[in-house]
Amino acid sequence: MPRTRSAVRSPGHASQFARRLLADRVTLACLAILLIIALAAIFAGHLAPADPLKTSMAKRLKPIGTPGFWLGSDELGRDVLSRLIYGGRMSLLMGTWPVVNALIVGGTLGVVAGYAGGWINMAIMRTVDVFYAFPSVLLAVAISGALGSGMKNAIVALTVVFIPPLVRIAETAATQVRGLDYVEAARASGAGAATIIRVHVLPNVLGPIVVYASGLFSVSIILASGLSFLGLGVEPPQAEWGLMLNTLRQAIYVQPWVAILPGAMIFATSICFNLASDGLRAAMELRT
C-alpha cells in the first residue's frame, strides 16, 4: 500500500493565494495605491490642508503650486487638493457600495438559480435578461433620473445596473459546480440544499464572482462620476471627483492642469482596481 510523502500538513489554499499575490509586483503596487487613496479618504479631516467647501472669490483658478493651494484652486476659489482628498470619500463610496450591494443580491440570486435549475432558474434568468436589454449607462441614468438626484438614488441605480451581470456570472459558476460528482455525493449523503450550497457550492463559485465584482469597482466609480457630472449623483457643493470634473470643465482653457486632476484621480483609481482585480484572479486560480 503506497503511502504519501512525509509532510503532514498541506499549505492550503489561503497561503498559496498569499504566496502568489506577494510575488506579483503590479498587483501589490495597485493595492498599495488603492490603500493610500482609501486611507486619505478616511482620514480626510486630518490630511486636508483646508476646508474643501470654503470659497474665496479673490483666489479663483490659481495654478498648481500656488502657496496655500498646492494643487491650485477651483472656479470658486476652493482648495483642489482638499477637495480631491474629500472627494475620494464620495467616489470610493460610490465605487464600492453599489458593487457590494449587487454582489450580495446578484450573487445570491445567481447561485440559487444555478443550483436549483428548472423553472426557478428560468424565472430568475429571464427577469435578469430584461435588464440586459438596456445599455448599463442608459439604465443608470434612467433609474437615477426617475428616482431624482442624490447620492442614495445614484447608489440604488448603480446597484440595479450591476445585479444582472453578477447574477449571470454566479449562475454560470453554480450551474457548473452543481453537475459535479461531489455535489451529487453531498446530495446522496442526505444534506439539504442550504447546507450543500454553503459547504460545497459557495466556496467553489465565490472566487470568480468576487473577482468579477472587483472589476466592477472601476466601472462603478466612472458611472457614479458620470451621474454626478450629469447632476444626478452627488449634489454641489459636496466634493466628488465626477462633480469636480464637471464644474472645472469650463476652466479647461484657463487652468488645464488643474481641470484634469479629478479625471486623473478617477483614471488612476479605476485602473488600479482593474489591475488588482486581474492579479487577484490569477492568484486565486485553483492549481490541480
Residues that bind other proteins (CB under 8 A): 1-5, 8-10, 12-13, 180-182, 184-192, 195, 199-200, 203-204, 286-288
Q: Which is nearer to other proteins, 10 or 253 (CB)?
A: 10
Q: Which is nearer to other proteins, 67 or 179 (CB)?
A: 179
Q: Which is nearer to other proteins, 46 or 287 (CB)?
A: 287
Measured from the CB of residue 166, what is the shortest distance to other proteins in angstroms? 21
Measured from the CB of residue 117, what is the shortest distance to other proteins in angstroms? 12
Cell digits for 8?
Answer: 503532514
Measured from the CB of residue 284, what is the shortest distance to other proteins in angstroms? 11
Q: Which is nearer to other proteins, 168 or 200 (CB)?
A: 200
Q: Which is nearer to other proteins, 28 or 120 (CB)?
A: 120
Measured from the CB of residue 82, what is the shortest distance to other proteins in angstroms? 46
Measured from the CB of residue 13, what is the shortest distance to other proteins in angstroms? 7
Closest CA to 238 of 134, 116, 151: 151
Beta bridge partners of 184: none
Count other C-beta atoms under 10 Å from residue 216's C-beta.
Answer: 25
Measured from the CB of residue 233, what is the shortest distance to other proteins in angstroms? 39
Can you tell me which residue has the cell 459557495? 202
Q: Which is nearer to other proteins, 51 or 184 (CB)?
A: 184
Per-residue HEC secondary structure of the chain comes to: CCCCCCCCCCCHHHHHHHHHHHCCHHHHHHHHHHHHHHHHHHCHHHHCCCCCCCCCHHHCCCCCCECCECCCECCCCCEHHHHHHHHHHHHHHHHHHHHHHHHHHHHHHHHHHHHHCHHHHHHHHHHHHHHHCCCHHHHHHHHHHHHCCCHHHHHHHHHHHHHHHHHHHHHHHHHHHHCCHHHHHHHHCCCCHHHHHHHHHHHHHHHHHHHHHHHHHHHHHHHHHHHHHCCCCCCCCCCCHHHHHHHHHHHCCCCHHHHCHHHHHHHHHHHHHHHHHHHHHHHHCCCC
Q: Which is nearer to other proteins, 4 or 253 (CB)?
A: 4
Measured from the CB of residue 12, what is the shortest distance to other proteins in angstroms? 7
